[in-house]
Amino acid sequence: MKPKLLIVELWYLGDLVIGTSFLRAAARQFDVTLLAKPYALDLQPRLWPDVKIYPFSAPWTSFKKKYHFWRWPLPEMLRLRQSLAAEKFDIGLSARRAGLGGDPRDHFLLKIVGAKERIGFPYFGSEIFLTRPIARPEPESHRYESWRLAGRALGIELPARDQLDPPLPPKHEKTVLIHSGARLPVRVWPLENWRKLALHFREKKYHVQIACDPDQENWWKQNGETGVRTPVTVTELIALVDRAGALIGNDSGPGHLAALCGVPTFTIFGPQLPEWFVPLHPRAEWIEGKACPYKPCSDYCRFPKPFCIQDIPEAEIFRRTEEFVRKNFFGNGAVGR
């Protein structure tokens, strides 16, 4: 009988998708349960069918008012704790990296659900909740490296990022999927620039599909994009990705999902660092945001506008993305910056 392993990854789509290689490998040795946001249920059949999902939207992962405790769904949280405690997990693990260490909230959660062995990156004394603290990854390393170190603690050896098996190639090689959304406004290249980029590719006779977040849909329609798609579930997003040959987008979850589904990605970075979050595809390319003394930023910008992403010249994006699409549609492609 396999040991029972609880994995906690309560944050967003990109964070969860980056852990795919670990989840697949762990499921071969453990009876794996994943505590994650509800859209993990949409990802499960495609990415990790052997993993059991407990869906939970942790209130401390919201963008605003995360510590308004009186708004927290306490009855739901108590029921969840009871259900997880009843599973009697042999091991609990959090591979989350926050700041200089892990996430104390994850570590406390592992403790109160009764996991016998608790593994994670210690941070500000959170090792009191862990039975096996593990050494933190190098600060400049990709988020995937956190999963590699967590795997090593369990006797799972994951390949280095540049040695990952390439995903299956996309089914439709001549559609450029442009996704203009991102979870945070500071990570969005201006919509007017995205519209000009779509026009540029159409003038070059490429088929372009626009996708966006719900709050951007009216803008696109008002600017003549009648065929814009607004996926509201991960299942709908996967369906769009499966019809694309390349994805161009902001630093956001759709790029990470596309990469794992075999679609090469081009990412426009702003306040975050590419070395941390470039999608896991061997032909992923990106452009780095303009220099700023406060980078990397997570949620807010100290200036009137996030110039790190908004001031990237249109001409530079046009040239780089056209080269990227040409390589992937008509050539072999290559890793590049």
**Alpha-carbon radius of gyration of the chain:** 20
Residue 148, classified by CB atoms within 10 Å of its CB into exposed (0-12), middle (13-18) or buried (19+), is buried
Please give the residue that has the higher pLDDT: either 166 or 211: 211
What is the distance between the alpha carbons of residues 266 and 285, in angstroms, rounded to a whole number? 5
Fold assignment, 4-163: Rossmann fold (3.40.50)
Closest listed residue to residue 7, CA positions, set 132, 115, 129, 161: 115
303-333 per-position pLDDT tens digit: 888 999 999 999 999 999 999 999 999 875 4
Q: What is the reported pLDDT for 333?
A: 43
Domain positions in the chain are: 4-163, 175-330
pLDDT category at 99 given cuts 50, 70, 90 is: low
| Alpha carbon distance 178, 208 (integer Å) | 7
Condensed to tens digits (0 to 9), the pLDDT of residues 23-55 reads: 999 999 999 999 999 999 999 999 999 999 999
Q: Maximum distance among all alpha carbons in the chain? A: 60
Q: Which residues contact 67 (CB under 8 A, 6 or more apart)?
A: 60
Lowest-pLDDT range, 113-117, 186-190, 213-217, 299-303?
A: 299-303
What is the percent of the chain with per-residue pLDDT over 90, rounded to a whole number? 75
Contacts 24+ apart (CB under 8 A), 312-320: 312/189, 312/268, 312/270, 312/287, 314/193, 314/196, 314/197, 316/287, 317/189, 317/193, 317/197, 317/268, 317/287, 318/197, 318/200, 320/266, 320/285, 320/287
Cα–Cα separations (whole angstroms), residue 109 to 84, 93, 104, 123, 322? 10, 10, 9, 14, 46
**What is the pLDDT at residue 127?**
87
Report pLDDT digits (tens) over 137-177.
888 899 999 999 999 999 999 999 988 887 776 665 689 99
Q: What are phi and psi of 35, to 5 degrees?
A: -100, 115
- Predicted pLDDT at 59: 86
Question: For 175-330, which CATH superfamily applies?
Answer: Glycogen Phosphorylase B; (3.40.50.2000)
pLDDT at 55: 96
Instruction: State the sign of the Cα–Cα–Cα–Cα dihedral 51, 44, 140, 62.
Output: negative
Q: What is the rounded average pLDDT for all residues in the chain? A: 91
Predicted local confidence at residue 169, as pLDDT? 66
pLDDT per residue over 236-249, tens digit each? 999 999 999 999 99
Residue 205 C-beta-side C-alpha neighbours within 13 Å: 1
Q: Are 272 and 250 in contact (CB under 8 A)?
A: no
DSSP state of 118: E
Q: Is 308 helix (H, G, I), strand (E, B) or coil?
A: helix
Gap between the Cα atoms of 232 and 251, Å rounded? 18
Half-sphere exposure at residue 156, Cβ-oriented, CA atoms within 13 angstroms: 19
Is pLDDT of 334 > 50?
no
Please give the Cα distance from 104 to 126 (Å, whole number): 5
175-330 matches 4-163 in CATH topology: yes
Q: pTM (2 decimals)? A: 0.92
Q: Please state the rounded mean pLDDT for residues 223-252.
A: 95
Is residue 335 predicted with pLDDT exceeding 50? no
CA distance 261 to 257: 6
On the question of pLDDT at 101 being above 80, the answer is: no
Residue 278 has a pLDDT of 96
Q: What is the pLDDT of residues 49-75, one digit of tens each?
A: 999 999 999 888 876 777 777 788 888
Q: How many CB atoms lie within 10 A of CB 290?
A: 16
Q: What confidence tier does 100 reach under pLDDT thresholds 50, 70, 90?
A: low
